[in-house]
């Protein structure tokens, strides 16, 4: 069964700046505490990350996985899907960075994630794990953009 999570937040930064911050995947360990390593394996013809290897803390252990990033016609949207992983059966997600009407210095960040784990977990463990992922995806990103720090 696929677990889906979605979150939105207003961030004090332009859509372009937010996009560039997420696109800089190799610096992800600086602001997303559970990401221990992010290595770009392949870049596209515009120099953007294509395939990226991650090592992360998960459920009291280390996990690794590789994602393939995609970029469509919307220049402020980044999506990804799982190529392989040791704890994940399937994962896909996306960020979209939308301008806020009347405020050129604000962005509505939309985050979606679908995950299938290889192991069964109790509901409360899944919810705790989901909360950590969303916290890093939204709150830690927001802190990094607005303050240049993380929220831990």
Concatenated DSSP letters for 91-121?
Answer: EEEEEEEEEETTEEEEEEEEEEEEEEESS--
What's the whole-model pTM score?
0.83
Q: How many CB atoms lie within 10 A of CB 96?
A: 19
Residue 52 confidence (pLDDT): 97
Instruction: Quote the distance between the C-alpha of residue 87 and its chain's center.
Output: 17
Q: With the CA atoms of 85, 87, 61 and 33 taken in that order, what torsion angle do they form, in degrees rounded to the nearest 10?
A: 60
pLDDT band at 123 (very low <50, low <70, confident <90, very high): low
H helical segments located in the chain: 15-23, 28-31, 123-134, 141-147
Which three-class secondary structure state does DSSP give residue 2? coil
Q: How many CB atoms lie within 10 A of CB 39?
A: 13
Predicted confidence (pLDDT) per residue in 63-119, tens digit = 889 999 999 888 899 999 999 988 778 889 999 999 999 999 999 999 998 877 756
Q: Are 129 and 58 in contact (CB under 8 A)?
A: yes
Question: Where in the chain are the domains?
Answer: 3-147
Q: Report helix, strand and coil shares of the chain as percent, to nearest 5.
A: 25, 50, 25
Residue 6 confidence (pLDDT): 86
Domain 3-147 has CATH 3.40.50.2300: no
- 32-36, 97-101, 133-137: which has the highest mean pLDDT? 97-101
Question: Is 27's pLDDT higher than 90?
Answer: yes
Q: Can you tell me the distance from the alpha carbon of 112 to that of 94, in angstroms, rounded to the nearest whole number?
A: 5
How far, in Å, are 84, 87, 99, 119 from residue 90 at the CA level?
8, 9, 31, 12
pLDDT band at 122 (very low <50, low <70, confident <90, very high): very low
């Amino acid at each position: 069964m696929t677990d889906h999570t979605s979150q939105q937040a207003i961030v004090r930064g332009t859509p372009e700046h937010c996009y560039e911050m997420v696109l800089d995947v190799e610096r992800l360990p600086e602001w997303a505490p559970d990401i221990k390593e992010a290595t770009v394996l392949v870049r596209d013809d515009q120099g953007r990350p294509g395939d990226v290897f991650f090592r992360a803390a998960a459920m009291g252990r280390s996990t690794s996985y590789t994602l393939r990033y995609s970029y469509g016609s919307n220049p402020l949207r980044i999506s990804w899907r799982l190529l392989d992983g040791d704890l994940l059966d399937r994962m896909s997600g996306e960020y979209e960075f939308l301008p806020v009407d009347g405020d050129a210095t604000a962005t509505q960040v939309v985050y979606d994630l679908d995950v299938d784990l290889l192991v069964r977990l109790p509901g409360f463990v899944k919810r705790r794990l989901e909360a950590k992922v969303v916290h890093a995806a939204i709150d830690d990103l927001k802190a990094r953009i607005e303050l240049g720090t993380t929220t831990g």
